[in-house]
A and B are shown apart, each in its own frame.
Chain A
Amino acid sequence: MHLKYKSIIGSLVLNTEQLLENCLAGDRKAQQTLYEQYAPVMLGICRRYISQLQDAEDVMMEGFLKIFLNLNQFDHRGSFEGWMKRIMINEALMWLRKRKLLLIELDEKILPLEETQDNRHWELTESDIIPILDQLPEGYRTVFNLYVIEEYKHREIAELMGISINTSKSQLILAKKRMKHLLEQKKQSH
């Protein structure tokens, strides 16, 4: 049984490698196969950052274009999906920055210094995520996505967004606070 799974995984890896090689050679059929395989996941990522589906799709297309044009830069050390995700996240951040949606102006004196621990179980489903994220301001939403879902460090977020580490931390605390409030409202309405 173990060997069977191993061989299935092995053949999948081999297929992806072959697919990447063909994509690199400019084979449009291979590029289409790769696109069809990963586009739903990538659009899901872009949509978490961008509130309009059409805009998220434009960002995803731009991301795929970059992936195909820079495929020779993928060093095969990490996972290919991880590499693609990073490109999509960068594209989404660039899109937000261009539209000045990441402008965060905060008075740090009024910010909470510590967050309270909350171990409640919210029974979330995948269809709950985007509607809740859509209710957060862009700054909260971006930091929440990067820290909680993508598991970036505050230092990395600060670099990516061009903000201070403290701003990243405070945005996260405020995002979580707002998120809990929204989840409580949702629970009460049910």
Chain B
Amino acid sequence: MEQEFRDQSKSIRLTPSPSSWETIRRRLDEKNQIKKIKLNPILAIAASLTGILLLASLLFMNNNREATWSNTSMTNTTEFEDHTDHTDIYWQISQLNQAYTRLDMNLPSNMKNL
């Protein structure tokens, strides 16, 4: 019985439906598309490193710009303080002038020019 089964089974042929090859072809095409999208791991690592470097350089440039800006604002502040100092000096000179007047004295000529 076993031998008969073995011999007869080997000659079994069944015709698949006509659409079956089309289904296989379509699925092979889909798999191919996915394969193309998937990146080579080495390329993926290289792309990641490039991305990190780009990000780092952008951050570095941004920091530099901020530093320049803060330096500029400090200069402005110094100018403003200078201006305030001048006012103080004018005020001090006027105080001095009043003291000189009270003592019936004249301010030195170099101070009058200020």
Residues of A in contact with B (beta carbons under 8 Å apart):
26, 28, 31-32, 35-36, 39-41, 43-45, 47-48, 53, 56-57, 60-61, 64-65, 68-69, 118, 120-126, 128-130, 148-149, 151, 176, 179-180, 183
Residues of B in contact with A (beta carbons under 8 Å apart):
1-2, 4-6, 8-17, 20-21, 23-25, 27-28, 31-32
Residues A61 and B9 in contact, CB atoms below 8 Å apart: no
Say whether chain A's binding surface is mostly helix, strand, loop, or mixed. Answer: helix
Q: Closest CB-CB distance, B2 to chain A, in whole Å?
A: 5
Residues B9 and A60 in contact, CB atoms below 8 Å apart: no
Say whether chain B's binding surface is mostly helix, strand, loop, or mixed. Answer: helix
Residues A48 and B9 in contact, CB atoms below 8 Å apart: yes
State A41–B23 Cα separation when bound (angstroms). 19
Listed by A's residue number, 15 A-B pairs whose Cβ atoms lie within 8 Å are A26-B32, A35-B24, A44-B9, A60-B16, A61-B24, A65-B28, A65-B31, A69-B28, A122-B1, A124-B5, A125-B8, A126-B11, A129-B12, A149-B6, A149-B9
Residues B4 and A122 in contact, CB atoms below 8 Å apart: yes
Q: Closest CB-CB distance, B1 to chain A, in whole Å?
A: 6
Q: Closest CB-CB distance, B56 to chain A, in whole Å?
A: 41
Residues A68 and B28 in contact, CB atoms below 8 Å apart: yes
Residues B8 and A124 in contact, CB atoms below 8 Å apart: yes
Residues B16 and A183 in contact, CB atoms below 8 Å apart: no
Most chain A beta-carbon contacts within 10 A, residue among B9, B23, B25 = B9
In the complex, the chain A residue whose C-beta lies closest to that of B3 is A148
Q: A26-B32, A125-B8 are in contact. Are A43 and B14 (CB under 8 A)?
A: yes
